Structure 1
Amino acid sequence: MFGLSVFLGDELTQERKRYLKQMKEAGFTKVFTSLHIPEENADQYLERLAELGLVMKELEMELVADVSKGALAKIGVSNLSVDGLKRLKEKGVNGLRVDYGFSNQEIAFMSHELNIVLNASTITQNDIEELNHYGASFPRMVAMHNYYPRPETGLAKEVLKEKNQWLAETGFTVAAFVPGDKQLRGPLYKQLPTLEDHRGKHPLAAAIELITECYVDEVYIGDPEIAESTIYQFKRYIADKTVVYFVKPEKQSPYFEIVLGKHQNRWDPAKDVLRSADARFKEIPQISPYETIERTRGSVTIDNQDYQRYMGEIQVVVHDLPKDEKVNVAARIRAEDLPLLDCCPAGGYFELKEQMNQTEENISELR
């Protein structure tokens, strides 16, 4: 399950609405926002919440709002009642992320009307016992970790794994954030990950790591926007678990077109490379030696005629390898996709796709 973030401090422009639609088409189903409404901008926030709620209904996406009791009062829910919570649903809000200020009895009550998201880092065994005592609907409850705007404050992977394993065993769905790579959120513009090690990492690589290694069920993009190419990579991964690597030819290699396309990593995976399972069994031209150079991480290679029956084998280099006169370097994976090399398992599918013709801004230059 994948989601994204929308911040009500920013205007919900037509461009932003198109972005939401694009993300929906890519397979994203949830949106996270905050209702910690500044007093001086209360009316503006309420207008934007109503507008966002309409868009969510049109796109059939779930809207999860981070709230306090004070924020609920500002949007017309001054006391926790069935009617008040139904009014929230009418505004397009399907779930509430609640933290300090709400008792477990109140949380249990709300869980029968809305999906309830708790702070994953602060949930204790006592909380679970109280929620059970008050009859909470656990199938509608999610434990969500924070994102951390300030560098050096994000969680350590082992801490996250230990907490999430316990949460999963208690029956919680677990959610966390990964960074964006296009429009970043101010005032620090240092990305919004849950794990500190994900700051500066490819959003999809971070998401796959959370899902496959950290007991995370739902992944949200923390920052306001990801790049077009990254949206495409998420779309392919969500649709059929294919990891897409964008590549460019190595010195106008005549074999560049041959290596492009969809491949399957062998079920007996190599230590140092991703091996295309059936590449050398396809009909191919004679492969002459060309650019038999050092094979650094991210190199895409094709074996030449000197490798005899292996001619035509296509590999993606995961760990640096020396030059081999029998192996041509035909392409290179772009630098930002290199973390994705660790995300294609045995038998997994990957695609080598020519790099999109668009200006990709460096993360450090985004403001």
Structure 2
Amino acid sequence: MKRSLGISIYPEHSTVEKDKAYLKLASEYGFTRVFTCLLSVNKPKEDIVREFKEIIEYATDLGYEVILDVAPAVFDQLGISYDDLSFFHDMGATGIRLDVGFDGAKEAMLTFNPYELAIEINMSNNVAYLDNILTYQPNAPFLYGCHNFYPQKGTGLDYDFFVKCSSRFKKHGIRTAAFINSHSATLGPWSINDGLCTLEMHRDLPIDVQAKHLFATNLIDDVIIGNAYASREELEALSKVNRYQLELSVEVLTDSSTIEKDIMFNEQHFRRGDMTKQAVRSTEVRKKHTQSDIPLHDHMQTFQCGDVVIGNNNFGKYKGELQIILEECYDERKNKVGKVVDEELFLLDFVDAWTKFKLKEK
């Protein structure tokens, strides 16, 4: 399934002009999904339609999918029915997200709405909710899953729980989404806004590292910035994230040669299937460098987790092999050429047997 990047807007807390500028900017960096929320809107129906319709039409003209977050209270407030979704169709929405679920049969029936609106359900519960919906034979292409975000510090999902919840959806091939947190943004649906991320461990991480992590799990298809407005620098950083394979940022040592940089950054790496605990071994690259000159440097030291090393001229047939150290070790036949940045060290856990990965100069 193709992967995408998304942003969030909150028209009730902003202006049409600001939202349009943000949508235009993000579209220039390849963003294609919009999340917006009706849960916190407290205005007459006519005002909501007018304000949201203009901004949604502008977003769809830019090529965005727009999902509206709703709950039963919203339907009651607006005097509309789940049996008639024309209200959302008339506003131009791509779909609605059900923050609160029903009995399974209702969700399945909603996916057959005549407007082909996507029906997105809450992923942040480790219960058989999705399985129940599937027993009622929904229109599968129009059934999505999306996690919650958590405005209060300390309340985001634990990673292991996140995996359990997400796996329930991914095993059925359901399109999935989760939220990450901008450090420049201040807007959300509620007055409390300590950041709007799904995973608590992401709250203080750089925004691109958050996205790398979600994509690396292979459980999330769409990564959405929960708060608004992310900075241009953050949008640009996210636009450069490789959505389909892990790309680790590496600080390069001064003495690293042109050949060593070429091995690091211009090769498609993968970890050998017969794994060792000591290092991630990318061995195919050495075949290109049997005749290359790789003089010794930065080799007489104890290597630490995250160090990137390459076999030097004294390493025989292993000359040119790239390794990422996982456990402290010493070997004079290897040159230290770089180091995975500290904030991405935890991503090494996602480099498994045969995992394809790339390195990128920090």
TM alignment of 1:320-331, pairs within 5 A: 320-331=327-338
Kept after mapping to 2: 8 A contact 1:152/1:196: yes
Kept after mapping to 2: 8 A contact 1:178/1:206: no
Q: 1:101 to 1:295 in 2, by over 3 A?
A: closer
Kindly tell me the number of residue pairs found equivalent between the two proteins: 337
Q: Which amino acid aligns with 2:312?
A: N
2:151 aligned residue:
149
Measured in 1, the distance between the counterparts of 2:103 and 2:287 equals: 64
Question: How far 1:60 sits from its partner (Å)?
Answer: 3.1
1:229 aligned residue:
237
- Structure 2 length-normalised TM: 0.75
2:304 aligned residue:
296
Q: 1:228 to 1:125 in 2, by over 3 A?
A: closer
Measured in 1, the distance between the counterparts of 2:178 and 2:82 equals: 31
Kept after mapping to 2: 8 A contact 1:299/1:331: yes
Please report the RMSD computed on the Cα atoms of aligned residues, expressed in angstroms.
Answer: 3.8
1:360 aligned residue:
none
Per mean C-alpha deviation after superposition, the further-off stretch among 297-306 and 340-349 is 340-349
2:352 paired with 1:348: no
Q: 2:324 aligns with which of 299, 307, 316?
A: 316
1:265 aligned residue:
270
Measured in 2, the distance between the counterparts of 1:79 and 1:13 equals: 28
Question: How far 1:309 sits from its partner (Å)?
Answer: 2.4
1:334 aligned residue:
341
2:122 paired with 1:119: yes
Question: How far 1:354 sits from its partner (Å)?
Answer: 2.4
Q: 1:351 to 1:183 in 2, by over 3 A?
A: same
Question: How far 1:288 sits from its partner (Å)?
Answer: 1.6
Q: 1:251 to 1:111 in 2, by over 3 A?
A: same
Measured in 1, the distance between the counterparts of 2:64 and 2:239 equals: 17
Kept after mapping to 1: 8 A contact 2:123/2:147: yes
Question: How far 1:295 sits from its partner (Å)?
Answer: 2.2
Question: How far 1:129 sits from its partner (Å)?
Answer: 6.1
2:6 paired with 1:4: yes
SS at the partner of 2:85?
helix
Residues 43-66 of structure 1, C-alpha deviations (whole Å, 9 max, x = no match): 886565334322432243321111
Measured in 2, the distance between the counterparts of 1:311 and 1:151 equals: 48
2:34 aligned residue:
31
Q: 1:333 to 1:229 in 2, by over 3 A?
A: farther
- Structure 1 length-normalised TM: 0.74
Residues 187-244 of structure 1, C-alpha deviations (whole Å, 9 max, x = no match): 66643332333433522343135435xxx565434344445233212xx33xxx3322
Q: Which amino acid aligns with 1:66?
A: D
SS at the partner of 2:79?
coil
TM alignment of 1:12-31, pairs within 5 A: 12-24=19-31, 29-31=32-34
Measured in 1, the distance between the counterparts of 2:265 and 2:71 equals: 51
Measured in 2, the distance between the counterparts of 1:246 and 1:14 equals: 31
Measured in 2, the distance between the counterparts of 1:294 and 1:126 equals: 51
Question: How far 1:17 sits from its partner (Å)?
Answer: 1.5
